[in-house]
Amino acid sequence: MATIRKRSNGKYQIIVSCGYDMNGRQIRKTETFTPEPGMTARQIDKAVQHEAALFEENCINGTVTTDDKMKFADFAAEWFSHKKNDLRPKTYARYESMLPRINAAIGHMKLKDIKPPHLLKFYENLAEGGIRSDTKFKCRIDLEAYLKAHKLSKAAVQREYGIAPSNLLSVVRGHNCSIKTAESIAAMVGKPLREVFEPIGTDKPLASKTVLHHHRLISSILSTAVEWGVLFANPCDRTKPPKCERTEPKYLDEVQAAKLLDLLEDEKVEYKTAIRLLLFTGLRRGEVLGLEWKDIDFDHAIMQVRRTSQYLPDMGIFEDETKNQSSNRTIKIPQNAVNDLKRYKVYQLEMQLKVGDRWQETDRIFTTEFGTPLHPDTLSRWFSEFIKAHSDVLPPISLHSLRHTNATLMIASGVPITTVSKRLGHADTTTTGKIYAHAIRSADEAAAETLDNLLTPTLNRNAG
């Protein structure tokens, strides 16, 4: 029920209670009604009662906002606190990494004041160079020599400086690292960051897809503001999202894929098995590393994909659900993959006997020498080095390119798109069609040529 108060200046204040906020404080919305000159007391009373009823109805329907002063940064903080348990860890971490850029641009603004031009200007700034917060750092010193000179083991470095052994080993091998790792190592060495590390790629602009992700995050936050009655309308609905140029996925053709398999023969069995399995199944990296021995039915050559293995600096290696419901799937695997896994199981048992009680049982297929889950980046870094070592015969591809190779070869071989989609764990065939449009076009052209070759002799005979 609306409350009406007459002010000393002859105006009326209408107050409507809109419930309570997240801190338990009552939310009240007010409106001022000014009678028109010449109205009688009866007319004023009737008009203000009508205005109060209309204002209360608008508040109930959500067409009146409950907080005109709420700033974007403050609301975003509340949004994040409520979404932490709803979002997957890696998604939440990705959103957190984008928020500082967003707050720097519009965090100080009141929600109601954010307009499409503000958002468009922000997207333009993101597309320029020099604003990356994910700059990588390359070590300037001989870190391995430093560790030996100071008799520092990996365990000691982790214990005293909180640097993960995998991150330390990566820097020793010459790989770039995050600013967090760089700062920790600089603190260990006892020198300023810029004396120990060199920033790499500081002027590189954000990818168009990353800019689009910023737009989607802002839109999601503002949509929730509308749902909660803090904002009347989402300005993102009236803002044309940044154009994301679709790039063709990188993949190997059948000759290159065969060459890859040949080159793997001389590599360590754990890496060889993992790479071959990625190529034979088309699984994502996290899905392969999340596999456990109980997921493999050796008698029927069937694999169940039930989980993924992920990594975040503040969580370490952790188990997560598959990307979506359709990614939780059961697929038939080639006999070559079955044989690879059998050989690898024997290798893992031998490794377990070798380390004895230091072995940690996790049932994971791909592990470290002590049975703990293999770090996702360990496999990616190894593959990157492998590809560079064979750049004379293999194109520059990533680990995810093996998934694209699997799909492309299946389509080229005439496997129905519905089957390809299910094996890849896509939500629907539309997703598969968009990603592999190039392969579908090539398969369609090949089909046309096949028909032409089959029918042309018949047509020539009839013409004769």
| Length reported for the chain | 464
What's the pLDDT band for 404 if we cut at 50, 70, 90?
Answer: very high
Tokens of 120: 């468009």
The predicted pLDDT at position 436 comes to 83
Alpha-carbon distance of 119 to 133, in angstroms, equals 19
pLDDT band (50, 70, 90) for residue 235: very high
Q: How far apart, in whole angstroms, are the C-alpha atoms of residue 211 and residue 229?
A: 27
pLDDT tens column, 329-359:
999 999 999 999 999 999 999 999 999 999 9
| pLDDT at site 375 | 93
The pLDDT, as a whole number, for residue 56 is 84
The answer to whether 413 and 406 have CB atoms below 8 angstroms apart is no
Of the listed ranges 18-27, 185-194, 251-260, 301-310, the one predicted with least confidence? 18-27
Query: Which residues make Cβ contacts (< 8 Å) with residue 51, sequence separation at least 6?
Result: 14, 31, 33
- Whether 130 shows a pLDDT value over 60: the answer reads no
Instruction: Count other Cβ atoms within 10 Å, centred on residue 457.
Output: 9
Q: How high is the pLDDT of residue 431? A: 82
What pLDDT does 108 receive?
92
Range in 40-49, 214-223, 245-254, 378-387 with the lowest mean pLDDT: 245-254
pLDDT of residue 461: 53
Nearest to 207 by CA among 154, 178, 243: 243
What is the Cα–Cα distance from 122 to 6, expressed in whole angstroms? 45
pLDDT tens for each residue of 86-126: 899 999 999 998 998 899 889 999 898 899 999 999 998 88
Over residues 45-74, the pLDDT tens digits come to: 999 999 888 888 877 776 655 566 789 999
Q: How confident is the model at residue 462 (pLDDT cuts 50, 70, 90)?
A: low
Q: How far apart are CA 205 and CA 134, in angstroms?
A: 11
Q: Which residue has the higher pLDDT, 215 or 446?
A: 215
Closest CA to 305 of 293, 323, 287, 289: 287
Residue 197's SS3 state is strand
Q: Taking 90 as the threshold, does the pLDDT of residue 128 lie above it?
A: no
Residues 6+ apart with CB under 8 A from 81: none
Class of residue 225 by CB neighbours under 10 A (exposed 0-12, middle 13-18, buried 19+): buried
Does the pLDDT value for residue 464 go beyond 70?
A: no
**Which band of pLDDT confidence, cut at 50, 70 and 90, is reported for residue 245?**
confident
Q: Give the containing element (helix H, strand E) for 447.
A: helix 437-463
Q: What is the pLDDT of residues 264-307, one digit of tens each?
A: 999 999 999 999 999 999 999 999 999 999 999 999 999 999 99
pLDDT tens digits along 355-402: 999 999 999 999 999 999 999 999 999 999 999 999 999 999 999 999
- Per-residue pLDDT band for 422 (boundaries 50, 70, 90) equals very high
| Comparison of pLDDT for 133 and 196, the residue scoring more | 196
Mean pLDDT score of the chain: 87
Residue with tokens 């360590």: 268
Mean local confidence (pLDDT), 168-174: 89
Does residue 446 contact residue 411 with C-beta atoms inside 8 Å? no
Q: Name the pLDDT band for 243 (thresholds 50, 70, 90).
A: confident
State yes or no: pLDDT of 456 exceeds 80. Answer: no
* pLDDT higher than 80, residue 219: yes
Q: What is residue 447's predicted lDDT score, i.e. its pLDDT?
A: 63
Indicate the pLDDT class of residue 7, thresholds 50, 70 and 90: confident
Q: What is the pLDDT, as a whole number, of residue 443?
A: 67
Task: Say whether pLDDT at 439 is over 80.
Answer: no
pLDDT for 22 equals: 58
Tell me what pLDDT residue 452 has. Answer: 67
Higher pLDDT, 27 or 407: 407
d(CA 450, CA 444): 10
Structure token digits, residue 75: 């609301």
Residue 329 tokens, joined: 């799937």
H/E stretch holding 230: none
β-bridge pairing 302-305 and 296-297 = antiparallel
Task: Provide the token pair at 427.
Answer: 């939500």
Whether 29 has a pLDDT exceeding 90, the answer reads no
130 sits in the region (left: phi over 0; alpha: psi -120 to 50; else beta) called left
Q: Tell me: pLDDT of 134 over 80.
A: no
Structural domains for the chain: 3-61 (no CATH), 72-131+206-238 (1.10.150.130), 136-200 (1.10.260.40), 254-283+335-424 (1.10.443.10)
At residue 263, the pLDDT reads 96
